[in-house]
Structure 1
Amino acid sequence: MNRLKTLFRSGSIVILAATVVGGLAGYLANAIVGANITAVEYSSFGVFWSALYFIIAVISGVQQEVTRATRPKQDHSSGGALARRFAVIGAVATGAIVFVSGFWWAPIVFPSSDVWAVVAPIALGCSAYFVVAVLSGTLYGLTLWPAIGAMIVVDGVLRLAAIGTVLIGGWGETALYWAVVLPFPLTPSILWWVFRSRVVGRSMLDVGAAELTWNSLRTTTAAVAIGVLVSGFPVVLALVRPSAPAEELGTVIFGINLVRAPLVTIVLSLQSYLVIRFRSEPGRSGRTAAMLIGIIIGAALVFAGVAVLVAEWLLPILWADYALSGGFIAALAGSGGMLGLLCVSGPLALAKSRHGAYSLGWVAAAAVAVIALMSPLPLVTAIVVALSAGPAIGVAIHLIGARYSH
């Protein structure tokens, strides 16, 4: 019982449970969409989801730095002004950059879609997520675990409900896009009034505006690579393999989203928690990281084995339009484990203020993955190599950087 209370106070149970619920909601959202549209149609939805979450993954770098820099204040004087200004300016700038640049990149990424229908929801979602990132980083820094858990759960459940409503109503592709992004502004708007009194005036940053911006740029650089390897991978795939048939592309994108989601979503969402955990227990951070690495490897092996057994009979029943082999699905599950290791080694390096090693590890992993995709290997083989070899290189760089930190 005492051990359980300790785990609850440390936030591990709260964050893990919330992440499982939020990840399951996202997993079900993709599965439901896939069951209601064809593989060719999913190629458009999958790339939209990928493009949106690629930019969000980039912005998540801001959350990592705000998490690292936030400390509780000992008094209750006014505080947090820098974080608020940073959130507002960043949200406006992000929305403007995405919206204006979208009229250049959207026709390339979505050649058969209306530019406005794609760019407008992505710009709104990314602008709102910048506020979510700063607020979440502040909550992590203050170790307000129930508030963080609520943010994760409400966001995922709202998205699942919105997507389900659109599909039931038969409102079409554009409405589906808006259903995906609206939880980003709605979640903080709803929950802010619940935990506002525990945040306002109770936090401070250990850096000034210039250093916060510089450190955020470095963690954001790493987050670009995170986006390439995780949510943005289907976009990269569509760009570097433009000759791939739409049906094949939609099928492999669906497989990537469906199979990697359970493990990757959980571990990726735990990064901010891991930064706090490693930072608060520097003497035990190495042992904790080793334990987590062992758990992830074991989970990936089990999941890969289950995937082989399930794929052969479940896919034809629920998703008959998607021709995926058991071997490919098992390989995707295994590669998800490799990415999970990267999501542990990265926070370990960042918690030790090794921003350079943190960024380099992610960038190197993404570069190796892109090179593999551009190789003459068959599409399925190139995907497996990209999602396995890239993270392996990144993990090595992170661990070396953390080992030689001062």
Structure 2
Amino acid sequence: MSSAVAAVAGVAIMFVSSHTLTPADNAEFLSFWAGLFFICGLLGGVQTEATRAVSEMSRDSVSRSGARVTSAAMIVGGAAGAILLVLSPLLATVVFKRDGWIAVACLTVTALTFPLHSALSGVLQGLRQWDRFGQLVSLEATLRLAGVAVAGGLGAALGGIEAACLTSLLAWVLMLLASRRARVALRVRTSLTLSVLLANVGHTLLSAASSAALVVGFPILLKLTTSTQDYALTAPLLLAVSLTRAPIMIPLQAFQGVAIAHIARNPDAGWRALSKPLMWVSLIGALGTALAWFIGPSIILLFGPAYIVTPLVVSALTLAAVLMAILTLLGTVVVSLGHHAAFSRGWLAATIVCIGVLLLPLETDLRTVLSLTVGPLCGAVIHALSLRPPRRNG
């Protein structure tokens, strides 16, 4: 249910922005939106390791004498905020050219505070407090939608819509104020020392950065590899990328925590635990790819008459979303089994290939489709190979 709320809220926000802003300003907002969720996706690495570490601790019944996840989260948040402050002049003048300083300020505040949201989410999943986790996910999405809806209703410009997205950062604070169980969860210790916990978080952050670049940060990658004139025309294409991914990736990202908690407690069931989800994702994805050809362009036109995308592009982007989902599922198994290095290699390879394709001298639509197809496919192969059983000598 929480994943459905998040998916609907995300689509509703894009609907508000497309009807409030001009197509050129909406392309800028979608670039900010990508940057915002790139930061959240990157710092979601804290959630991944928190879920794994707390689940592993519960499985082995070890004493809770190690580091708190919150300690690692605060260190990560401080470092992320400092990096964004250093990069702020570049980001405000090169990446976000309209209302650039407002966008950078919003991203910096997010970087400083979101790791604690991720820590709470991960611990709740590791402790199997699914009701509290679902409430946190729903609350975050609802607060963001409410903020943007109010800003749009008041006729806010680009900077106002961007600033309104920060309302979601209140979710974990409100959860702590309202729930004693959430306050207790955030104080849970792992079985790891702080240095080991930070090292593991480092691997998940690297993987999360690659994942976020492909899953939510793609508009920024496209912007950096496209001329200013051509990028101003990409709002329909970027909207199609988001809409074809949301139905499969948002529920899948919510499912990841369940899978990590289960596999970390039952490592022998690693590959088998996701065999059925892989099959269902493939089947539903094949059906969705076919349906996207016939109804996808019409759905996108609901966002405005300027949002025209061909059936071939919508269908191809749906197929790309399926490959991204398969990469995500395989990566979930890899990191749940503690193979942090292989997890990083798969996502990093997918991102490098994606960027390489975007640099090719091709039309924007073709570069987009190929990069979002070939990149995830390469990463999925690497993850699958890392799950092969070791060869026996003799």
The TM-score with structure 1 as length reference comes to 0.89
Cα deviation code 1:288-333 (max 9, x no counterpart): 2221111111121222222222234344454211121111111111
Work out whether 1:63 is the aligned partner of 2:47: yes
Amino acid at match of 1:355: H
**Secondary structure, aligned partner of 2:220:** helix
Counterpart for residue 86 of structure 1:
72
Counterpart for residue 11 of structure 1:
none
1:85 CA drift (Å): 2.4
Residues 19-58 of structure 1 mapped to structure 2, 5 A cutoff? 19-58=3-42
For 2:142 and 2:344, the matched residues in 1 are separated by 32
**CA 1:231–1:391 in structure 2 vs 1: closer, same or farther (change >3 Å)?**
same
1:263 CA drift (Å): 1.1
For 1:168 and 1:60, the matched residues in 2 are separated by 31
Amino acid at match of 1:43: A
Mapped contact 2:93–2:100 kept (Cα < 8 A): yes
Structure 2 unmatched ranges of 5 or more: none
Q: How many residues align?
A: 387
1:209 CA drift (Å): 0.6
For 1:313 and 1:114, the matched residues in 2 are separated by 32
Mapped contact 2:176–2:182 kept (Cα < 8 A): no
Aligned sequence identity (%): 25
Mapped contact 1:34–1:254 kept (Cα < 8 A): no
**CA 1:140–1:252 in structure 2 vs 1: closer, same or farther (change >3 Å)?**
same
**Larger displacement relative to structure 2 (116-125 or 197-206):** 197-206
**CA 1:317–1:140 in structure 2 vs 1: closer, same or farther (change >3 Å)?**
closer
Cα deviation code 1:119-160 (max 9, x no counterpart): 111111222211111111111111110011001101111111
**Larger displacement relative to structure 2 (367-376 or 235-244):** 235-244
**CA 1:107–1:135 in structure 2 vs 1: closer, same or farther (change >3 Å)?**
same
Mapped contact 1:31–1:258 kept (Cα < 8 A): no
**CA 1:37–1:369 in structure 2 vs 1: closer, same or farther (change >3 Å)?**
same
Structure 1 unmatched ranges of 5 or more: 1-16
**Partner of residue 154 from structure 1, selected from 136, 139, 143:** 139
Counterpart for residue 371 of structure 1:
356
**CA 1:318–1:117 in structure 2 vs 1: closer, same or farther (change >3 Å)?**
closer
For 2:147 and 2:246, the matched residues in 1 are separated by 19
Counterpart for residue 264 of structure 1:
249
Work out whether 1:122 is the aligned partner of 2:111: no
1:206 CA drift (Å): 2.4
Counterpart for residue 373 of structure 2:
388
Amino acid at match of 1:226: S
**Larger displacement relative to structure 2 (91-100 or 372-381):** 91-100
Counterpart for residue 82 of structure 2:
96
**CA RMSD, 1 decimal:** 2.3
Mapped contact 1:139–1:148 kept (Cα < 8 A): yes
For 2:179 and 2:58, the matched residues in 1 are separated by 15
**Larger displacement relative to structure 2 (366-375 or 114-123):** 114-123
Work out whether 1:106 is the aligned partner of 2:112: no
For 1:376 and 1:38, the matched residues in 2 are separated by 28
Amino acid at match of 1:53: F
1:115 CA drift (Å): 3.3
**CA 1:157–1:398 in structure 2 vs 1: closer, same or farther (change >3 Å)?**
same
For 2:300 and 2:60, the matched residues in 1 are separated by 55
For 2:376 and 2:219, the matched residues in 1 are separated by 16
**Larger displacement relative to structure 2 (100-109 or 83-92):** 83-92
Counterpart for residue 224 of structure 2:
239
For 2:228 and 2:303, the matched residues in 1 are separated by 28
**CA 1:168–1:405 in structure 2 vs 1: closer, same or farther (change >3 Å)?**
farther
**Secondary structure, aligned partner of 1:264:** helix
For 1:308 and 1:34, the matched residues in 2 are separated by 22
Work out whether 1:171 is the aligned partner of 2:156: yes
Work out whether 1:192 is the aligned partner of 2:181: no
For 1:405 and 1:130, the matched residues in 2 are separated by 36
**CA 1:197–1:293 in structure 2 vs 1: closer, same or farther (change >3 Å)?**
closer
